[in-house]
Structures are given as C-alpha cells and as structure tokens.
Amino acid sequence: MTNTFFSTRVPGAVVMAMVAAVACSDVSEADPPESGAAEVTSVEMSDVETFWENLRSQCGRAYSGALALEPPGDDMLTGTEELIVHFRECSDDEIRIPFHVEVEETESWDRSRTWVLQRESDRLELRHDHRRPDGSPDDRTWYGGEVMEGGSENRQDFLSVERTEESGYQRGWRIEIIPGERYSYGTTRRGEWSWRVDFDLTAPVEEPPPPWRGDDTGAP
C-alpha cells in the first residue's frame, strides 16, 4: 500500500511550520508537570530539613518527661518514674538521643536506649540502639524504619516494615518536636499514637551520665 502522507510532496516551508508547531505543543504540555514536580520535591525536602534542624537545635540539652499514653496491658513503664531525654550528639548526618528511665524499685537508672536518627539527602531513618550495662549490644537492637511521606517540620513518621507485615496494618514510630514547648516519641498504629512519652522543652535539666554505650558511637 502506498503511504499517502510521504508520497504527497509538501512544500518545505509548510513542513518547517508543522515541526515548529509540534515542538511548541510538546513544550507547553511537558513544562507544567516538570515544574510542579520540582515544587513538590522542594517542599518535602524543606520539611525534612526543618525537622532535622529543630532536633539539632536542642543538642547538648536534656529534658524531663513522663508517660503520656500506653495501650491496655503495656507494662514497660509505670507512669510514675522519671524520664530524661538527652540530645547528646549531633552532626550533619546523625543525631543520637539517649533515653534514660528511672528504675524506682532499685533507685537506679536504665540507660540502655538511644534513639538514632540518620540522614542522607532527603532520606531520614530512625534506629534504636539497645545496650547492656557493659556496653555490649542487646539481643534486640538497631531495629527501626525509614521516614514516610506526609510529614511536617514538626512531625515525622517512620514505618516498621516488620511489625506492619506481622499485624497486617500500618505500624511504626513517630517523633514530634515543637521547639520551646514539647518533644514526643512513641509508636503508632494505623496512623495514630499507640504509646507515647512527652518531654517538656521549656525547662532543661542537668545532663545525665552517658548511656551504657558510653562514647562508642559506631553501629552495632
């Protein structure tokens, strides 16, 4: 069969006009989505960056806190012990936040837990570093998850793939920080708090001793 489009001779000026029209049409259709995508990425990265700086602004300070929410049957905390969060170490790509828990029965402290946030570009990750009193890694340590979409400069959620797969619904962790007011850490289920501790950022307290890990800052 003869291709009538190419068999018909079209003047050169007409062909050039057609090419120019197609090119203009491609640009006008492609540019808006590209511009819009860039704007969304910029906003998301800005929220992560501001959240990160909100945490870093507390570095070197410690605050007292308390249990704010727990599910029925949870006995990790009594609700009457003293809790201290310490923004102990901050760099451009890692923030280490020891979580000290008073052990009322023995009038001592559990210094086994450190929340570790790591950042690479717009990728944010939360890890839990658990240690024994001698500084060695606990059997259950370095678990955590990556940041989820939809966060803000004051709140970020981190998905637990393992717990989500086990339960069949979304589970993870959440960190909220309102500078000069409150810092909150806890677990989430289906996007809602399931367990939470709050710390008062209006009244710094004396910095506690190092966590059981001491000055060892490498990954387990």
Domain segments of the chain as ranges: 51-205
Half-sphere exposure of 20 (CA within 13 A, CB side): 6
Res 39 pLDDT > 50: no
Longest alpha-carbon distance in the chain = 97
The first and second tokens of residue 169, run together, are: 């619904």
Q: What's the pLDDT tens digit per position in 116-175?
A: 999 987 789 999 999 999 999 999 999 999 999 999 999 999 999 999 999 999 999 999
| Fold for the domain defined by 51-205 | Lipocalin (2.40.128)
| Burial of 96 per CB tally in 10 Å (0-12, 13-18, 19+) | buried
Whole-structure pTM over 0.85, yes or no?
no
Q: Which residues contact 70 (CB under 8 A, 6 or more apart)?
A: 76, 77, 79, 195
d(CA 203, CA 62): 9
Percent of the chain with pLDDT over 90: 74
**3-class DSSP state of 75:** coil
Q: What's the pLDDT tens digit per position in 68-90?
A: 999 999 999 999 999 999 999 99
